[in-house]
Structure 1
């Protein structure tokens, strides 16, 4: 029965809280009996003490994230109690046993003493605690908001370096947002406590003046009797209200001044105040000196003796703990050496790695101004936006076996690209003519192989004025990483990545995903189609359209090359967009019909799709003629685009991508309406003379 009742209460806490707040507001209007008011005053004291204890035992301010709302609720509750108590005092001449006993016990029935104590409590709360807590809240809120971008970048850098997982990164970002919300709310909540202290002083004088008038005019009491009675009741009511308010103000100050720790306030104070025995001995000496100079010797010497005893105990414990820690460390080393080595971690291979020579480590060191990790975060976002592909975490590590200025980009443990950069120099890329007036070390831009020079910072402005394109070393490395990812995205993409992309698409179009996988195509087959698209730098961001096309076409064929062509046709406008000029004209190179037929006849099926079984000599001539035609088209100012039949397209692209990786090969089916095709060249099989 008790368990069911507890569960019912926990399940309806929102209703209970709403009813409680409504009840607090009703208290201001509805008269309350004195006995019920005693219970509510006791609840107010209980809530204040409980809040104080929670603030003391909290290890982190966010553990008490409900404090801002609680402050508002308790402030409103105290004001309602003030209104109810004032009503009883003025109408009935009493306000229950709690207020009466407070007046008699705390101030012994003396209204003058009570008035002074009340004023002291209000001043302590208003000027000292509340004012300080308000200022700390303002500063904490401002610094927390200012630090948010840096913390976010630090999380992204740790994630990019592989130090934390995606889930840990999300948790940290959520904690940062909660921290900002908390301190922002506390900045406003301290105004409630400040206003409560001001209201208490005003209510005090209203009660005294109103009670005096009610006693003399309405009840015919003598002047001194009325003043004594109503002042005593008012002071008692004020103390009952202000002592809990003081506890709440103190709790607020403790929370906003509390730094995150692994233990509570008591443990932190004990560790830090009694950490150094020398401080205790010096304090004991000061107390002894004060006793000798004439201050009461008994309390001074007692406290001094206690401090000396505590200091001696701390010295002994510290020596013992050092010996124990040393012995424990030795035992741990011995035990660790006896354990069998865990080699499973050595089997892990990162999706992508960036290894740096020791001269390039500064590029990733934030303290030295390195921002490479932040650039890698931006690269991952750029690739996701352009290709619709989530790049895995890029592990960045140093490699002392490399040349000082060398770096290596790896995919699944295999070296894909390498280069050398000078971290303290700028790379100036050639403007098309030699200019020996700019001194520097000749080099090649690593991503695109352009002629360039490494120049000192002092020549940067001169090089820019001479028409050279000048970039810093981190930009050179970031560009190379970006180009490697774009080129090798099809190789990086695995089934797990595809599963994540499909799960994301399922949120928008669950029907097409359920129809396609696994009834029509397996996850691996979809991955192969997406890899085919990425291999030619076709964005897979429009995943829903891709899956829709596969669901339509997979019922008729399971050939992955044909399915890829169907998907390309569905994405034709997206593919053509960067190729078409402002006048909607697309300059293209075509194949001689006889050449196209020869290629078509040479296409052979296999277990892995189709392949081009063309005579090697004919293939060599074809590539040479195609290269020559591309050079002609480029000299005319056009971007080379080859158009051919759908079945020819994918096979021709594969046999030419090694010699002509930048060549865009389209099929006739990808030429959508509204695009004007302009033939600017044709490739035949005529041998070069």
Structure 2
């Protein structure tokens, strides 16, 4: 016989049963208001109502934070509807069968009407009214007020909390999943307290309805008993009043319990402890409090006429508790630790959790700059860092690692430093509340302030007061606030070190992103034709020479075309550069159709080709004097190009491009070396300067 779960009917599935529980319960509650119920079923439902209220109270006590019981407003509403439905059902039975005796509406109502108030309906009325007043005036009103204020504060705090989450995400302290979880939690908190504010109105209405229903039951019972069942007035009053009181008490006691649970949920502060642990740890943790309380209570017990035994007994318990609390820390100071605590300390051996990974990108600030990166004060620098990462991803072609921001008390108060994989790559100082006036070289006058240098580009600059900003701009200074200064420095450094920011993890993310639009292309090339390490090296070579890698489709297709001939990253990089030639020239000369470039003297070009060939076959390499002359003349020519507003670009044969670019990179970092094969046919070339004419 097949006993697989698939043979069960659909409605028997556990998830389906959970799904129909809510609608079924609402239908049953509505049915109780319409259909007559026998006394035995009423007893079961009243007992279930009491058990439900106790469960709700216990869950609220053991919840660590309000959202642990996020369904509480719905439970509150459904329990209120159940009590009202039971009131309607029991009222029907009381009026129809009340003349037969006090157990006409079931044993539960009889027990509450006789046992709890001793069969005295006058006492029952007083007790019922007191319970309603406590529930309506004290507990429900207070809980509703707390929920209202909490909902208002939660809504007011939402923008700040959302910005704090964005700041943590940008700083790399949390991931995307954690950020989404926190945003959802903030929204749920606001919805929860708003729902609790509305749900408390149901409980207040339930308390008012309880009084009215009891009065209706008493008056209606007297009318029915005297006029329809020919009972004398005293018998009718006794029977129907006790039944009405029992009915009211059996509904109001669960209502009081659930109202108390509502107050517990909305009034507690979220911690890692449940309510019992919170109260014990905070109320009974200070021996001085117990000592003073015990002394005061003991003094009151010695006053003539006071109940000495009760006061002195409680005072002795308080003083004994204070003595025990004072002894506990002394034992710890003497080195006598409890066994569990000693075991914990002895087991705290070094582990891999103690190995802290190095941040790929880091920003450390002195204590006076902490306000610039404070996520709770709408930090402009944090917003700019977010913008830098987006701009980098748009321009370069991959998303860099988050910038981890932390304070460093070893730095000067106004200093900051930028690190790459734990190593400092830049530092500077910023003056919060002041502006940096940068001299681009053509200012018309001097402005008073603190002389310094622009940390990003080394230009002379002055820290000035904000009131002097317009004056500085009129004199030709470039003015920026302190947040912009730090952000510009960071942006400049990550652009320079883009190649070092591209690790295998980022390369894999690039491939995953490309696979969304061209899955077959990625699948065919990596790792079938090329390993991931070779692709990373090719991309690294491109980024080292400031070539963006946004066009990953062209890069992968070019590698696919050449991977069968070679696996050498240098040769593959040259092939990719040729394929990206249009983008490279567009990046250097965005609008001009004519490219004014530097070129090598033909004689020097032939000499260098011979040297490169000899070097590749084990020769001696370039002669030192020639190398010095080449670097000096190239640096001078590049500087003249920059002075006339042109990018310093050298055009050389393809065989020289890679080696010459690597050779000149240290001394002339701003120079870009292109090969003839990388220039598209639509571009015109004009040699602005020849290098090595005197060689």
Q: TM-score range by the shorter chain?
A: 0.7 to 0.9
In structure 2, the partner of 1:243 is: 253
Tell me if structure 1 keeps the 8 A contact 2:361–2:402: yes
Provide the C-alpha distance between the structure 2 equivalents of 1:337 and 1:20, rounded to a whole number of angstroms: 52
Provide the C-alpha distance between the structure 2 equivalents of 1:606 and 1:496, rounded to a whole number of angstroms: 39
Mean Cα displacement is larger for which, 542-551 or 494-503?
542-551
Provide the C-alpha distance between the structure 1 equivalents of 2:222 and 2:565, rounded to a whole number of angstroms: 98
Equivalent residue runs for 1:282-297 within 5 Å: 282-284=292-294, 287=297, 297=306
SS of corresponding position for 2:497: helix
Tell me if structure 2 keeps the 8 A contact 1:28–1:84: no
SS of corresponding position for 1:297: coil
In structure 2, the partner of 1:273 is: 283
Q: Quick one: structure 1 residues 451 and 84, their matched pair in 2 at CA, closer, same or farther if it must change by over 3 Å?
A: same
Provide the C-alpha distance between the structure 2 equivalents of 1:391 and 1:154, rounded to a whole number of angstroms: 19
2:146 to 125, 136, 157: 136
Provide the C-alpha distance between the structure 1 equivalents of 2:39 and 2:588, rounded to a whole number of angstroms: 85
* CA apart distance, 1:593: 11
In structure 2, the partner of 1:529 is: 538
Tell me if structure 1 keeps the 8 A contact 2:498–2:543: yes
* CA apart distance, 1:132: 1.7
Provide the C-alpha distance between the structure 2 equivalents of 1:606 and 1:321, rounded to a whole number of angstroms: 83
In structure 2, the partner of 1:187 is: 194
Deviations 1:644-669 (A, max 9, x none): 88777666654554455445667788
Provide the C-alpha distance between the structure 2 equivalents of 1:61 and 1:537, rounded to a whole number of angstroms: 53
Mean Cα displacement is larger for which, 303-312 or 619-628?
619-628
Deviations 1:141-174 (A, max 9, x none): 3333444555566567677778x5x46x854762
* CA apart distance, 1:428: 0.7
Tell me if structure 2 keeps the 8 A contact 1:126–1:194: no
1:77 to 65, 78, 82: 82
SS of corresponding position for 2:335: helix
Deviations 1:618-670 (A, max 9, x none): 995598479647845863x6666677887776666545544554456677887
* CA apart distance, 1:511: 4.2
In structure 2, the partner of 1:322 is: 329
Provide the C-alpha distance between the structure 2 equivalents of 1:485 and 1:253, rounded to a whole number of angstroms: 53
Provide the C-alpha distance between the structure 2 equivalents of 1:316 and 1:476, rounded to a whole number of angstroms: 60
In structure 2, the partner of 1:28 is: 30
1:106 matched to 2:113:
no
Equivalent residue runs for 1:194-213 within 5 Å: 194-202=201-209, 204-205=211-212, 207-208=216-217
Q: Quick one: structure 1 residues 78 and 346, their matched pair in 2 at CA, closer, same or farther if it must change by over 3 Å?
A: closer
Tell me if structure 2 keeps the 8 A contact 1:61–1:256: yes
Tell me if structure 2 keeps the 8 A contact 1:152–1:173: no
Provide the C-alpha distance between the structure 2 equivalents of 1:289 and 1:190, rounded to a whole number of angstroms: 45
* CA apart distance, 1:339: 11
TM-score (norm 2): 0.78
Provide the C-alpha distance between the structure 2 equivalents of 1:258 and 1:607, rounded to a whole number of angstroms: 78
1:306 to 307, 313, 319: 313
* CA apart distance, 1:49: 0.3
What is the aligned length? 669
Provide the C-alpha distance between the structure 2 equivalents of 1:607 and 1:43, rounded to a whole number of angstroms: 93
Tell me if structure 2 keeps the 8 A contact 1:623–1:656: no
* CA apart distance, 1:66: 3.4
SS of corresponding position for 1:433: coil
RMSD of the TM alignment (CA)? Answer: 5.0
TM-score (norm 1): 0.78
1:433 matched to 2:442:
yes
Tell me if structure 2 keeps the 8 A contact 1:408–1:419: yes
Q: Quick one: structure 1 residues 688 and 10, their matched pair in 2 at CA, closer, same or farther if it must change by over 3 Å?
A: farther
Provide the C-alpha distance between the structure 1 equivalents of 2:678 and 2:141, rounded to a whole number of angstroms: 71
Q: Quick one: structure 1 residues 225 and 429, their matched pair in 2 at CA, closer, same or farther if it must change by over 3 Å?
A: same
Tell me if structure 1 keeps the 8 A contact 2:362–2:420: yes
* CA apart distance, 1:547: 4.6
* CA apart distance, 1:508: 6.2
1:455 matched to 2:464:
yes
1:687 matched to 2:690:
no
Provide the C-alpha distance between the structure 1 equivalents of 2:504 and 2:471, rounded to a whole number of angstroms: 50
Q: Quick one: structure 1 residues 182 and 545, their matched pair in 2 at CA, closer, same or farther if it must change by over 3 Å?
A: farther
1:479 matched to 2:488:
yes
In structure 2, the partner of 1:519 is: 528
Equivalent residue runs for 1:161-560 within 5 Å: 166=174, 170-171=177-178, 174-175=181-182, 177-202=184-209, 204-205=211-212, 207-208=216-217, 229-284=239-294, 287=297, 297-298=306-307, 301-328=308-335, 349-354=358-363, 376=385, 379-387=388-396, 388-394=398-404, 396=406, 398=408, 400=410, 407-422=416-431, 425-430=434-439, 432-457=441-466, 459-503=468-512, 510-540=519-549, 546-547=555-556, 550-551=559-560, 554-555=563-564, 557-560=566-569
Provide the C-alpha distance between the structure 2 equivalents of 1:607 and 1:688, rounded to a whole number of angstroms: 24
Deviations 1:305-330 (A, max 9, x none): 23432342233223322222213399
Deviations 1:542-587 (A, max 9, x none): 6567556645654554343454466567777876776676xx6555
Q: Quick one: structure 1 residues 621 and 576, their matched pair in 2 at CA, closer, same or farther if it must change by over 3 Å?
A: closer
Provide the C-alpha distance between the structure 2 equivalents of 1:466 and 1:65, rounded to a whole number of angstroms: 62
Tell me if structure 2 keeps the 8 A contact 1:440–1:456: yes
Provide the C-alpha distance between the structure 2 equivalents of 1:217 and 1:243, rounded to a whole number of angstroms: 33
Tell me if structure 1 keeps the 8 A contact 2:450–2:464: yes
**Where do 5+ consecutive residues of structure 2 fail to align?**
99-103
Tell me if structure 2 keeps the 8 A contact 1:283–1:304: no
1:55 matched to 2:60:
yes
**Where do 5+ consecutive residues of structure 1 fail to align?**
none
In structure 1, the partner of 2:101 is: none
